[in-house]
Structure 1
Amino acid sequence: MAAISDILFSSPLALLALASIIPLIILYLLRPRTIDLDIPSLLFFLKREVQRNKLSLLLRKLIRDPLFLIQLLVLILLSLAAAAPYIMEEKVSGQHTVIVIDNSASMQAGGRLDEAKAMAVERLSAVNSVVWAQNVPVLALKEGDKTRAKEVIALTPQRAISADIAAAITYSQRLAGSGGTVIVFSDFATWSGNDPLVEKGLAEYNGVRVEFVQVGGKSNNIGIVNGWLEVKDGAYNLNLAVKNFNDRKATVSLDIRTGNEKRGGTLSIPAGSTRAYIVPNLKTGITEITITGGGELNIDDTAYVYIPVGAEGRVLLVDTREQTATMTALELLLPAGDVEYSSSLPQDLSGYGIVILGMVDNNSLGPDPAAILTGFVDSGGVVIATASPGLTLIGGSLLPINITGMSNETDLKVVRENPVTAGIPMKDQEDDPKVDLEVVRHIRGSAPEDATILMEASDDSPILSYRRQGEGTVVYLGLNDVTGDDAWSGFAAMPQFPIFWKQMLNWLGGTDSSEHNIRTGTVIRMPSTQTITYPDGSTLTSSSLWVDQAGLYHIGPQVIAANLYDARESDVNEISLDASSVTSRYIERPEVVRVDVKKDITPYLIWVVLGLIILELIIIKRRRELS
């Protein structure tokens, strides 16, 4: 039984409600009472005595009135209940059970995850924690009762990733503590990370019971285990690898859907073998390839592909100079009719797909360049703005840099890997890799919240950044092509310069779609907080994305296609560990560990208040004051 001094409050400010007893006391003091008449013959002797005993008589009357006492207690108890009182209880660590549920991709075969949930709710104790074993452990519940643990177990989601069971055991043993119990529910078909048996032995040596519970059995499956895009002669071709994990030959049908267009094919696969299938001439947008008759694991029956709409139309280079290094690079990369040069920005850009701003000024940009370029980008165009003093005429509402001035020498570093940065020369420094390029002048500024920085200067000024706007893209390149004594850097004179422009045009033209087609288990960092729509329809507002579902993710106007592409997870016909043959090395270490477990006593106070109210009604009824 806890002493009064052991009682704590979650909301101590609510104790101010105790002031409500003051009006109650005043109300009872002001109640009509019997009037004492002054008799002139006795007034001289008794008046002084009456004044002296007046307060004590009133107090005795209040204390003797049971209704007053009941109502006083009700107000005090309600005030205490509003402050959420609780006491701290000592818990023996052995009472704590940690439920580890493997919800990796292979657990979706043959109802394995549902079986694990059903078995887990039968193994709960007084205090339970729930951990989901994924490529990193996820704590779903910490020290909850049976009711709450059942609710969380029922909510265990299906995920298209591998499970690091060993990491989940290591994490769970810290939760359970010495004398606690960790129960792992898994198919033990495959895992990532260390061997679960090794981590089980270490946990048992530290005094934590670890039990393996196997769910499911061997299942048949045929699945898509790999896929990649190739661009050949301007066409997108998807290469798929489909594996038959069964012990007999099988033929599967493939349904290919791009928008409203449908086509199909068949593929014969020998037992235990992998066969390639090429889907030629994919169109831009979303394509889904589904095999029929794939077996009991459905997550690897469909491959998702997204090809972004690239910049279409000619390239326009706006520059006040007659000949530049960028012109030379474009002439090497593009057919003669696909690139055009101009010393001024045209009012109508509808015939172009990409506009490159070289050295520009007030005369070359015209009176309102921001409006012209914004309309061009909103309709799907691409603007590449290279470093030039004239960019201040456009302003930061469009550019992925807020210009604040000019600076001199600086070091450069790649902030985020991108196909565009792949050809930039780097210094061989593992701890702090820097760009192997001398920069003697650059534009100082900062990046807007919705801009993505790929490369920056030592003063955090963006050197290569981009932002999506409307249907198009705006890129800022802080390395211009000025040469000679006025050069800002030596980039234009390097052999990597034309390669850089080739990668830039491929990326903007959509021929490099690696950023839009990824494998599950990938973590994506975004430049700002954005609303993400997951394949299952759920949404999340975050600045990072952990890809743990197969399907299509929508981040604003961007689409990302995610696929499992994991032959080990798809091989549900293989059981890597037989849990029934695993022995225990548990070492008994009885000890009591004090854990901060809150026990809420608010419900007890409420029950006392209800009892007092019932008692008050009974007293009123007996006094015949209840009408």
Structure 2
Amino acid sequence: MALGDVFAAPLGLAALAALVPLVVLYLIQPDPRELPLPTVAFLQSDPDEGGSNPVLERLRRNLLLLLQVLAIVLLAVGLAAPYVTTTREVSAQPTVLVVDASASMATETGDGTRFAEAVAAARAAVGTPTTVVVAGGSVRTPVTEADPEDARSALDELRVAHAPGDLRGAIERARELAGSESRVLVFSDFAGGSGGGEAGWKQAADAVRASGATLTLRQFGSGTTENVGIVGRSFENRNVVLRVANTGATAAERTLTVAGQSRTVSLQPGDRRSVVFPLPAASATARLAGSDAFPVDDSVPVAVPDEQAEDTLLLTNGNNRNLRTALDVIPTVNVTVKRPPVSTTGDYDAVVFADVVAERVLGSTVETAQRTVDDGGGVLLQGQRNVGEVGYGDLLPVTPGGIEQSGGIDNVTSHPVTTGFDFPAPDYHLGATATGTALVTLSDGSPLLATDGRAGGRTMYYGYLPNQTAFRYDYRYPVFWKRAIHWLADRPSLSDLNRETGTTLQLANETTVETPTGRRTTAAVQLDRVGTYRTTDRRTSAALLSPAESNVSAAPVDASGAGAGDGGPTTGQQVRQDLTPLVLLGLLGLLGAELGYLRRRGDI
């Protein structure tokens, strides 16, 4: 029999070489010497009656050596990973396992979680071959047509996601991968959204049956269904609004705390309440006091931008009192106003040209704006009759024409600056063609607001002509400028910093990201856990925020089809039974025996 038939790593037996120095040390150990002791010379000698056994005496003296030899032998055997081969019955049918890894599967059952129970059942249901489909934050297939051991290894590596799952999409993927002779087994609690709700996954299940494959549904719904969770988060006027829901069947009272401030919420079954807190000065976490079987929705991180001042240069030859006021009231903006012609030095996060006299703008001033963009900042250029004569060059994201009468707003593109805005149409505008991206378009196709990305920075065209529109008197006017300066300076908005789980955080390039589960270097991070995701210059939070997923109860499903371990012929599979834990247990026993012997002998 070869060593490979008994040991998975035979090289570990090389540790037996440690026996050589151990034996040598015992061989060179000097014999004890007899020394006369005058103080006991008067004691009568007690002659040896021959009652002691020399063999047992030698064994007693060398018992420590024997224990140490056995310990080294067991250590070497353990390093060699011993195993025995056993036979395990598995299904001989091609098998597709659909495992629900959505947030509701993290519900605690008392002996673990629903997800742990589902994975254990899936491990017992593998076939020959096995495909695994996972419905987590996204639908994925870790292994396709794998042998039973590889399928079990893939199942052991699965982790539940703190995100809504697409069970319908996962079952549809299983139908695509399964043949007419295959069996498809679905392991889920069938709670929450479940990808299109109950009707959605049931339609997908019917399609599997129609394909000729055998379908089995295994429901894991243990654990209490009483749950109170945070199901919504929004930001309004320097406040954070959190929505708390009671999806259980009994009334509940919970205390919500954010940055040291607390509110108590009483909820009847099915109730939802909005709780308002001042936006914390620094990033914090909202927490619901108390506990239930679904802790995933009991905490919601709230990330806020670092309070770094945005140095803004406003260049204007006009009065522009409204614009100056709008910039002055932004807490994080340090605005410097200069009147061309003027020398401009220093570093700025944003530069704004508004109502300037074309011939008075120095080339060095345009160079300052260009340098701001190159360094990662932004430049905003206001439209005016002779905007093409100022000398902006390629900073201007439009090709200007003449003054025209306006008809109305034709289209508003979703953007951090435009979201939620109803832009009033001006009476007159500058006819132009966008060379970048038009965010707000007038009825004749001219851009009223346009942006362009440059190497490192951003530019924006603001098409309201100086002193020509009532927009500057609108209450939304300061809000627009706050958004515009934040965007130009690349200051992330609260919505950018606070995401929902199940979404993807796109980064400009490969970046090291500290996630709730460890450090990763990537250009796209799947936000699949509740918590904070940090880079060197940014912090983004992710929370579940799903009323459907927080409802962890589900009606019993019809588990049609054969049981998880039934249905179809089986075959014997040769599998290795690892004996390393038993060997290590024996090694610990020997070490305990050695310590006991040394203590009995008085050495310790």
Which TM-score applies when normalising by structure 1? 0.58
Instruction: Identify if the C-alpha distance between structure 1 residues 202 and 336 changes in structure 2 by more than 3 Å, giving closer, same or farther.
Output: closer
Structure 1, residues 111-139: CA drift from partner, whole Å, max 9, x if none? 11111111111111111111111465222
Match of 2:148, as an amino acid? K
Q: 1:274 to 1:575 in 2, by over 3 A?
A: same
Q: Which residue of 2 is the match for residue 557 of structure 1?
A: 537
2: CA distance between counterparts of 1:459 and 1:505? 21
Residue 458 (structure 2) pairs with residue 478 (structure 1):
no
- Within a 5 Å distance, the mapping from 1:248-397 to structure 2 comes to 250-257=252-259, 263-265=260-262, 267-270=264-267, 272=269, 273-283=271-281, 285-309=282-306, 312=309, 316-319=313-316, 321-322=317-318, 327=320, 329-330=322-323, 333=326, 340=337, 342-344=339-341, 347=344, 355-358=351-354, 359=356, 364-365=361-362, 367=364, 370=367, 383-386=379-382
1 CA distance for matches of 2:399 and 2:255? 61
Q: Equivalent residue of 2:118, what SS?
A: helix
* CA 363–493 in structure 1, closer or farther in 2 if over 3 Å, else same: closer
User: What are the Cα deviations for residues 506-548 of structure 1, in whole angstroms up to 9, with x where unaligned?
Assistant: 324579622322322345666x545372443343533x65543
| 1:192 partnered with 2:195 | yes
Alignment match of 1:182 (pick from 160, 181, 184) = 184
Match of 2:511 in 1: 531
Is the contact between residue 306 and residue 559 of structure 1 (CA under 8 Å) also seen in structure 2? yes
Does residue 225 of the first structure (1) align with residue 231 of the second (2)? yes
Aligned twin of 2:416 = 418
DSSP-derived class of the 1:243 partner: strand
Distance of 2:162 and 2:547 partners within structure 1: 12
Confirm whether residue 440 of structure 1 aligns to residue 446 of structure 2: no
User: Residue 212 of structure 1 aligns with which residue?
Assistant: 217
Secondary structure of 2:150's counterpart equals helix
Q: Secondary structure at the match of 2:323?
A: helix
Q: For the structure 1 residues 438 and 246, does the alpha-carbon distance in structure 2 shift closer, same or farther, using more than 3 Å as the test?
A: same
8 Å Cα contact 2:349/2:372 also seen in 1: no
Cα distance in structure 2, aligned partners of 1:302 and 1:416: 30
- C-alpha deviation, 1:276, in angstroms: 4.1
Amino acid at match of 1:128: T
Q: Is 2:528 the counterpart of 1:548? A: yes
Match of 2:559 among 582, 585, 602: 582
1:376 positional shift: 11
- What is the SS of the residue equivalent to 2:236? strand
User: Alignment partner for residue 519 of structure 1, among 464, 482, 500?
Assistant: 500
CA separation of 1:442 and 1:501: change in aligned 2, threshold 3 A: farther
Alpha-carbon distance between aligned partners in 2 of 1:313 and 1:207, rounded to the nearest angstrom:
64
Cα shift readout 1:401-432 (whole Å, capped 9, x = no counterpart): 8x8x95769999766533336547699xxxxx
Q: Which amino acid aligns with 2:323?
A: L
Q: Name the counterpart of 2:116.
A: 114
Partner Cα distance (1:570, 1:265) in 2: 22
Map Cα deviations across residues 214-257 of structure 1 (whole Å, 9 max, x no partner). Answer: 124132433212222221xxxx2222233344555555454534
Which amino acid is the alignment partner of residue 215 of structure 1? F
Does the aligned pair in 2 maintain the 1:290–1:301 contact within 8 Å? Answer: yes
Shift of 1:175: 0.2
Matched, 1:201 2:232: no
Q: d(CA) in 2 for partners of 1:345 and 1:301? A: 56
1:185, CA displacement in angstroms?
Answer: 0.6
Q: CA deviation at 1:106?
A: 0.6
Contact 2:169 2:195 in 1 (8 A): no
Partner of 1:192: helix, strand, or coil? coil
CA distance in 1, matches of 2:157, 2:209: 29
Deviations 1:55-85, CA, capped at 9 Å, x for gaps = xxxxxxxxxxxxxxxxxxxxxxxxxxxxxxx
Whole-angstrom distance in 2 between the partners of 1:143 and 1:186: 21
> Cα RMSD (Å) of the superposition?
4.7
Deviation at 1:192, TM superposition (A): 3.0
CA gap of 1:218–1:494, structure 2 versus 1, over 3 A, is farther
Q: How does 1:572-611 map to 2 (within 5 A)?
A: 572=552, 574-576=553-555, 578-579=556-557, 581-584=558-561
- Aligned residue for 2:482? 506
* Structure 2: stretches of 5+ with no match in the other structure: 1-90, 564-604
CA distance in 2, matches of 1:132, 1:161: 13
Contact map agreement 1:164 1:192 (CA 8 A) in 2:
yes
Identity %: 21
Q: Which residue of 2 aligns with 1:140?
A: 142
Q: Deviations over 1:310-368 (max 9, x none)?
A: 6747864203x435xxx265167466997845224554668x88541234768634637
- 8 Å CA contact 1:419–1:503 kept in 2: the answer is no
| CA distance, structure 2, for counterparts of residue 123 and residue 164 of structure 1 | 22
Q: Residue type of the partner of 1:288?
A: T
Give the Cα separation in 1 of the matches to 2:470 and 2:424.
Answer: 14
Residues 308 and 214 of structure 1: is their aligned pair in 2 closer, same or farther, counting only changes over 3 Å?
A: same
| Contiguous gaps of at least 5 residues in structure 1 | 1-92, 258-262, 428-434, 448-452, 484-491, 587-627
Alignment: residue pair count: 441
Q: Could you tell me how far apart the structure 1 residues matched to 2:336 and 2:496 are? A: 27
TM superposition score normalised by structure 2: 0.60
Whether the aligned pair in 2 keeps the contact of 1:244 and 1:269 (CA below 8 Å) is no
The structure-2 alpha-carbon separation of the partners of 1:345 and 1:312, relative to structure 1 and needing over 3 Å to count, comes to farther
Contact 2:231-2:546 within 8 A present in 1 as well: yes
1:169 partner amino acid: I
Work out whether residues 223 and 293 of structure 2, in 8 Å CA contact, stay in contact via their aligned partners in 1. Answer: no
What are the superposed Cα offsets for residues 157-187 of structure 1, whole Å, 9 maximum, x if unpaired? 2212222222221221110121211111111
* Cα distance in 1, alignment partners of residues 419 and 267 from structure 2: 43
Instruction: Measure the CA separation in 2 of the matches of 1:225 and 1:108.
Output: 16
* Counterpart for residue 89 of structure 1: none
Residues of 1 paired with 2:365 and 2:181: CA distance?
74
